[in-house]
Structure 1
């Protein structure tokens, strides 16, 4: 059951490879395609001295191409009444403020992705209790407290602490356009959607597969994983415990009777 739950979660998380959205079609050029570098500077805005300190996207007249800012589109006029830009060097016609409508409403995979991932998480949570029991069944009874503490330390040191750093590096590696202000690099404005999706889900699926592999080794190589819930839950051991309890109760009753007899004897004397 543990493997089935984990396998379903791996498959559900792996669905993110295929449930992506079309990338943002932003005007620019690949400065170095081999290194994945993207440049917003083109021949039409070469003399505009544009900055990436502020992201103010506009949609071109073709309603599919997004420009990083009016400056990068070479626009010099703005109509406040209808929020359009004109007199642009990079295209003929007018541009509207904001993202193109196709980028806003074109992605329909968000709800299926969230639904599949949520269902996978719910099913995977079923394996948490058996997973904890497997960890406890791999050690001697007097080492269970140490096992819980050691597992918490390992989880903190190798899980919670480095996760933000590792996934932060992975996410940053998919960035196309960085904020640049006063020579310093700030936040990422635009990501490569395909690279972001593949890197993020690929790393997560790899970690989940490795965790399942360790569970597999723990289950099939642990000598103590025989009776999953209790070491002495078979019928003979239950009978032995009941006999031991009966003997203990009988001895206590005999001792109480002897003490009463001794007390009565002392009173008569």
Structure 2
């Protein structure tokens, strides 16, 4: 007897096909989140972020595969295991609430120290102390002796530069010298701020990636077990298509738009492109937290739908589904 495409007893295949796109929506943001986190926690080497992502995902996939094999999970067991991992992802999503404070930046988050004007909502990096310097728009940050970040040495009002091994800008009219009267100095680069949340963030993020990797194995395994044997390839292809349609394709676009709203400082290029150099960390953390939370809750709903709509090959929804053989070559796998 020939079975038509996806002619299973229940509708669990529909829920499983839609699930990965929502459940792993955060994976679509990896390309965006890596540089964001590097900026967030002042991690200079992006390879550390890539290593964390790869280690967490691979570890989760290996653990998930071992648990499935060790306990010989059938369809309902696979879905239950996937739901447990999704709940773990929900808890670990709190990693995005661990954030570091913004580095104080003159004209953006704090007013210029030598300016009597209050910080304006439009964030003006030009002040009385650097107005006559004709500063360019290229972002070359310097850290002042007052521990405030400046857009460039020119915007800090610096007029002198040391010729030693370490560059030091001096006679900076926009920087107040706390140790002695007169202008302050500045060093190239961003100011360092100690942050207690840095290492807890990476630890919880590793757990989030591990749980995310564990979810993949039971979901994909359950997918090929709830469709006819001859149509497994088509089922996985359709699932991958929906995964891309809901996650990997629109994810970066949606997240990019939301992230842009958290930008505090833009640099406009001659070709019309824009680069953000400073984000509002508190807003950025909420964006990632709620996007991840929404994706995981959506994934849980579809997993629950797959579990409730499941019917065993004999049509009994209450059975555990622990079958060992195929009814025939084209029928659903024995679970």
TM-score, normalised with respect to structure 1? 0.71
Q: Aligned partners of 1:160, 1:185: CA distance in 2, in Å?
A: 23
Aligned residue pairs, count: 227
Instruction: Tell me the equivalent position of 1:94.
Output: 184
Aligned-pair distance for 1:162? 1.9
Q: Name the counterpart of 2:294.
A: 206
1:188-203 pair list within 5 angstroms: 188-203=276-291
Aligned pairs for 1:1-269 within 5 A = 1-17=81-97, 19-29=98-108, 33=121, 37-53=122-138, 55-62=139-146, 64-81=147-164, 83-92=167-176, 93-99=183-189, 102-103=192-193, 106-136=194-224, 138-139=226-227, 143-182=231-270, 184-224=272-312, 226-227=319-320, 232-233=323-324
The CA deviation at 1:143 is 5.0
- Structure 1's unaligned 5+ residue stretches are 242-269
Q: Secondary structure at the match of 2:94?
A: helix
SS of residue paired to 2:195: coil
Larger radius of gyration: 1
Assess if the C-alpha contact under 8 Å between 1:180 and 1:186 holds in 2: yes
- TM-score normalized by the length of structure 2: 0.59
Query: RMSD of aligned C-alpha atoms?
Result: 3.0
- Is the Cα–Cα contact under 8 Å of residues 59 and 97 in structure 1 kept in the other structure? yes
Give the structure with the higher percent strand: 1
Checking the alignment, whether the CA contact within 8 Å between 1:16 and 1:201 is kept in structure 2 is yes
Alpha-carbon distance change, 124 to 59 in structure 1, aligned in 2, over 3 angstroms: closer
Greater RCO, 1 or 2 (C-alpha within 8 Å, sep 6+): 2
Deviations 1:72-119 (A, max 9, x none): 11222222235322332323332221346533xx12422221222212
Structure 2 residue ranges without an equivalent (≥5): 1-80, 110-118, 177-182, 329-335
Deviation at residue 69 of structure 1 after TM alignment: 0.6
CA drift of 1:20 comes to 0.7
